[in-house]
Amino acid sequence: MKLTVFGATGGIGTRLVRRALEAGHDVTAVVRDPGRMPAGLRERADVVQADIMDPGAIEEAVKGADAVVSAMGPREFGPTTVCRDSSRSIIAAMRATGAGRFLMVSMGAIEAMPGDDPFTRYVVKPVILGRILRHGIADMRVAEAQVRDSGLDWTIVRPPRLMNKEGKGRYRQAVDRSVPGGYTISRDDVAKALLDLTGDLSSIGHVVSIAG
């Protein structure tokens, strides 16, 4: 499979590139600074330095891809448009080149869903996380709306709180609902889920929640 990864030097993106290479896939990693990618991955992946916010600059990176994954996300708590701007650009590049399969990492905090316990539904997500992560959530809501309206074969992947601990090599998932009791997941297991979902055509047009 030919896989293109945006956000390839981030916590999830780096792990996804590594997993995909180990599984024998051809990986194009789109980055702003190639020096931030581990040397062992730079040597094996096709590393493309480009401005992700410029659709024309990334068209060649998505052309012919079997799946395109965006692991872009805000790194700060202040106002941001990085998710909506990057998703808009990726969608435009994919439309221009005919690439169809698109997966985007979102966040479980974005809204309460069936499967959430009452405390999470009425307190944690709308009050606690809704206040702390309000800027990132606002940005991601726009990004999700753009993906839904893109006409691509999309899947939105919503993890809960991300952890840097070693992955379990397994995860739980739920389609168009939250994973009951799913409060955390390792970034490595998110990468595993993304790689699994690239070939899961039943997930097209759905929000897939994942948790450890």
CATH of the domain at 116: 3.40.50.720
Strand ranges in 53-143 using DSSP code E only, listed in sequence order: 67-70, 101-105
- Predicted confidence at residue 12, as pLDDT, reads 97
Residue 2, token pair as written in the block: 């030919």
The distance of Cα 18 from the centroid of its chain, to the nearest Å, equals 15
Beta strands, E only, the chain: 2-6, 26-31, 46-49, 67-70, 101-105, 153-158, 161-163, 172-175, 184-186, 206-211
> Which H/E stretch holds residue 118?
helix 118-119
pLDDT score of 4 more than 90? yes
- Is residue 130 classed as helix, strand or coil in its secondary structure? helix
Residue 167's pLDDT is 87
pLDDT (tens digit, 9 = 90+) per residue, 160-182? 999 998 889 999 999 999 999 99
What is the number of structural domains in the chain?
1
> Using 50, 70 and 90 to split pLDDT, how confident is the model at 120?
very high
Q: What is the pLDDT of residues 28-68, one digit of tens each?
A: 999 999 999 999 999 999 999 999 999 999 999 999 999 99
> Binning pLDDT at 50, 70 and 90, where does residue 90 land?
very high
Mean pLDDT (whole number) for 140-159: 98
Check residue 113 and give its pLDDT.
95
Strand, helix or coil for residue 53: coil
Q: Give me the residue label for tokens 């060649």.
A: 60
DSSP assigned state of 178 = P
Residue 123 has pLDDT above 80, yes or no: yes
Q: pLDDT category, 130, cuts 50, 70, 90?
A: confident
Is 136 strand, coil or helix? helix
pLDDT tens digits for range 57-77? 999 999 999 999 999 987 777
| Neighbouring residues of 119: CB distance < 8 A, sequence distance ≥ 6 | none
- Per cent of the chain over pLDDT 70 is 100
Spatial separation of the C-alpha atoms in residues 16 and 55, rounded to whole Å: 23
Q: Which domain holds residue 173?
A: 2-211
Q: Which carries the bigger pLDDT value, residue 5 or residue 127?
A: 5
* Backbone torsions φ then ψ of 191, nearest 5 degrees: -60, -40
Average pLDDT score over residue span 4-15: 96
